[in-house]
Amino acid sequence: MTTNTITLNNTVHMPALGLGVFQTAPQETSAAVAEALRVGYRHVDTAAAYGNERQVGDGIAASGVAREEVFIESKVWISDYGYDSTLHAFDKSAAKLGVEQIDLFILHQPLPSRFDLTLDAYRALEQLLADGKVRAIGVSNFMVDDLTRLLEETTVVPAVNQIEVHPYFQQPELQRLHAQHGILTQAWSPLGGITSYGGAARSTFDDPTLTEIASAHGKTVAQVMLAWHLQQGRSVIPKSVKAARIAENFDVVDIELTPSQLAAIDALDTGVRGGPEPSGITLENYGMPIPEA
């Protein structure tokens, strides 16, 4: 089984669908990654802040799949922003992952209140790219104003902006800005996982429109959500620790949603964010030390 590949704006190829490991406990991560690679995934999305980069590396090593066949994506946490600190953040992440080169290395959040530090961190990513330590660079949770300023003040256009996108929160204006600049939209919580954490009132998994479309295709609601993203050109990184769901989430390439089904899912957008307001992220309330390797 395969999934489609996306060509990033610097010509690097990235599998469109990867395994996410946010909230995957370190002791479960290696097995989840190895299982994903066994069923055909070739892309894993982790982050320094998830505390499981080492176990992602262990899972890749245990899988027997060659390092160069796996696209590894990781993120710098805000506590490591600043030029030298971000260069060192790469050393920490690479050592924990057990690799020389990270395929895609991104800033986890903008720090609107310390955009100077954010810009210095991004300039460090540009240096890592020039040095061949990473194959592509990007950002996450950058809103229109953050991205506009970054584009004005730095040189390399980010390859991706990883943002919250699922049927209930779609950020169309930001996605249009990405398209104008050749920035790939990578959807976090692509299944709307964030809509169900903590027993939220309205979960995408129970949505009647999605349920109806899923039954028309003989597929699950999760598979329909992933097909919707992929057909609209987004990268997706669904998270699961369960082997059956890891396989289910990868078995989506043969689904062809009709234009009216795509439009029906587009119409589910509530405009209400599930995750934290990106502008509210500060060093004071979200800073935490990222351990040495």
Ligand X SMILES: NC(=O)c1ccc[n+]([C@@H]2O[C@H](COP(=O)([O-])OP(=O)(O)OC[C@H]3O[C@@H](n4cnc5c(N)ncnc54)[C@H](OP(=O)(O)O)[C@@H]3O)[C@@H](O)[C@H]2O)c1
Residue nearer to ligand X on the CB measure, 118 or 260: 118
Q: Is 193 in the site for ligand X (CB under 6 A)?
A: yes
Q: Is 118 in the site for ligand X (CB under 6 A)?
A: no
Choose which of 217, 245, 251, 282 interacts with ligand X (CB under 6 A).
Answer: 245
Q: How far is the CB of 98 from ligand X (least distance, A)?
A: 19
Beta-carbon contacts of 264 under 8 Å, excluding residues fewer than 6 positions away, are 209, 213
Query: Within positions 135 to 164, which residues make up the interface with ligand X, using CB under 6 A?
Result: 140-141, 162
Q: Which long-range contacts (CB under 8 A, 24 or more apart) does 113-119 make?
A: 113/282, 114/81, 114/282, 114/283, 115/146, 115/149, 117/81, 117/82, 118/81, 118/146, 118/150, 119/150, 119/153, 119/154
Q: What angle do CA 79, 238, 218 make, to 5 degrees?
A: 165
Q: How far is the CB of 2 from ligand X (least distance, A)?
A: 19
Q: Is 250 in the site for ligand X (CB under 6 A)?
A: no
Strand partners, 60: none
Q: Is 237 in the site for ligand X (CB under 6 A)?
A: yes
Q: Is 192 in the site for ligand X (CB under 6 A)?
A: yes
Single-letter amino acid, residue 220: T
Window of 113-121, 174-182, 183-191, 265-273 that interacts with ligand X by CB under 6 A = 183-191
Q: Is 249 in the site for ligand X (CB under 6 A)?
A: yes
d(CA 63, CA 48): 22
Residue nearer to ligand X on the CB measure, 260 or 266: 266
